[in-house]
Structure 1
């Protein structure tokens, strides 16, 4: 009878050792899985690691192993708190060195309205000069305009125009060509223009003879 009871006791001890060994192995596996998850620094991974350490704590038989699980769970929770803190947004302002130099603001283009009420006319439609004008080398024309900024836009290259208030003077040189010559003096104010016709006669036979006499005297 004593032998039978001793044998049963041995069997129970062996079974307990086997169960403890199996629990130890299962707990170690869960603990290792928890450590691998703990290395990934995300909130989801830390929560998954806590579950693994909690399961390992249930399986472990010794107080030291259970305390080890509690320590790792505390580490995971600390990681979660750190990961949950919102990081301050980076300032969008650039440093002075990085600041882009802004282009100076362009000045608005002021549109100048053209005058449509300009009134412009001349006292003469045309002027006629002798081939050798002499004392009559200059002639004047009056300008009638409701604005003072009228100007001479063009004139013949053989004539010179001098402007004054409300008038201008045309001066011509001797006509050394063999034909009558014509030109135009254009007076302009804003978009309004008037044209003066300038004519200079060709030299007559008498004029040519006088030229020869004058040249001989020189």
Structure 2
């Protein structure tokens, strides 16, 4: 009888170890996805999506599966932004070449135009990264040929405001999760919309001995 009980307990311990190892492998896939996500290229974002999709299948927890979905959505938003930026650069180059040849201003039909002129809206960077502990501020410079630009989308865990120097002052709240997170902030002027990616590290807990 003792032999069978011992075998049963040993089997349970082995199963627990296998489950723990499986979840560790899932976390590794998720971490690889986050690492690839920080490189702002279409190829890297697609690689990150692949890792997040594998991690989602691997995880048992619905909360972590949902977190994988959130990161996949964020990667797709970044890809869309990168594609728009590249298309805008190509279009601007074609417009300049056409202006040199024809000696006249060429209207860029792919960009929104206000009644009083073309909107030029940009940020001095495409993403900002915060530590997980919160209470950290960063500024992002907004360049626009019209003063009425505004912040039209703010993530739930982000506080931000517009100052007199055409800067967005951003603060990320403390990250309650044990993984890195990211979200999108949108800036709008007329029909022109640009996106800033906000990344926050996981909160690091220090244990004092």
Q: Per the shorter chain, which TM-score range?
A: 0.3 to 0.5
- Greater relative contact order (Cα < 8 A, sep 6+): 2
For the pair shown, which has the larger CA radius of gyration, 1 or 2?
1
